[in-house]
């Protein structure tokens, strides 16, 4: 089951990103930015 993460960061608005692309609990994101986790759907 894939979850969708709603993230905000780097001066952009909320972005919905497939959780397969991110590593929760780490400062590393595959897309190369720092984000604040808003919610997980």
In this structure, what DSSP letter does residue 21 have? G
The answer, yes or no, to whether residue 39 has pLDDT greater than 60, is yes
The answer, yes or no, to whether residue 26 has pLDDT greater than 50, is no
The answer, yes or no, to whether residue 30 has pLDDT greater than 50, is no
Q: Where are the alpha helices (DSSP H) in the chain?
A: none
pTM equals: 0.30
pLDDT at 28: 43
The answer, yes or no, to whether residue 8 has pLDDT greater than 60, is yes
Beta partners for 18?
4
Q: Is 18 helix (H, G, I), strand (E, B) or coil?
A: strand
The answer, yes or no, to whether residue 38 has pLDDT greater than 60, is yes
State both tokens at 5: 């993460």
pLDDT at 27: 42
């Amino acid at each position: 089951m894939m979850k969708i993460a709603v993230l905000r960061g780097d001066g952009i608005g909320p972005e919905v990103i497939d959780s397969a692309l991110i590593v929760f609990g780490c400062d590393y994101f595959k897309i190369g930015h720092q984000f604040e986790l808003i919610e997980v759907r």
